Amino acid sequence: MTSRTFELKRTTGETEIKVRVALDGEGKAEVNTGLGFLDHMVAQLARHGKMDITLRCKGDLHIDDHHTTEDCGLALGAVLLGLAGDRRGLRRFGQAYAPLDEALARAVVDLSGRPWPEIHLGLRREKLGEVACENLVHFLQSLAIAGRMNLHVDVLRGDNDHHRVEASFKAVALALRQAFTQEGGGVPSTKGVLG
């Protein structure tokens, strides 16, 4: 099997990002975004998706966490898009549930080439660590848009917002792992093409 690894650099007036993903990894994460909670969530994607992720971001955190969180989602999504290629041989669809104590999240992904995020975490707190809860939702939206994937994430129950978010990221990781499974030689579409 060929190495399924992709990397990119993304530089704007707000952030400077380097990201590398090896799909067939061991779940290792080397993440430094300047936002501890975001680092923790990206590490969940790596660990439970069995991807090795290296993500480094220097962002304008003196303003707030928005640009860093959004741009990390965009960069990681762009890498996943590069890894998907024409989707030839990929399962394409993935679905997973993940619990964390009282919280239960469901994620469903389609590497369709048609981006559509439906992210419903039901968070009540303003922030987790130094990350605004609205920006955690925005990270997943940005991931789906840049990755040109259909991504539905719903928290079905849970009282603790940390648990709700972490269960969501774990479910997304498991669903992505399924969707990126290689199981054939053709494009998984009756149209013969995706995108």
Which pLDDT does position 1 carry in this prediction? 44
Query: How confident is the model over 12-36, as a mean pLDDT?
Result: 97
Task: Please name which of 41, 154, 50 lies closest in space to residue 97, comparing C-alpha atoms.
Answer: 154
Question: Please, what is the average pLDDT of the chain?
Answer: 94
pLDDT at 2 over 60: no
Residue 114, pLDDT > 60, answer yes
- Percent of residues, the chain, with pLDDT higher than 70: 94
Q: Where are the domains of the chain?
A: 5-179
pLDDT tens by residue, 38-53: 999 999 999 999 999 9
**pLDDT level of residue 184 (50, 70, 90 thresholds):** confident
Higher per-residue pLDDT: 28 or 183: 28
Q: Determine the average pLDDT of the residues in 69-86.
A: 97
Q: Report CA-CA distances (Å) from 19 to 10, 81, 166.
A: 8, 13, 21
Tell whether the model's pLDDT for residue 10 goes beyond 70.
yes
The domain 5-179 is placed in CATH, from the list 3.40.50.10860, 3.30.230.40, 3.90.1150.110, 3.40.50.1370, at 3.30.230.40
Residue 194: its pLDDT value, please?
A: 52
Q: Is 4 a residue whose pLDDT tops 50?
A: yes
Task: Work out the average pLDDT over 64-73.
Answer: 98
Model pLDDT, residue 132: 98
- At residue 193, does pLDDT exceed 60? no
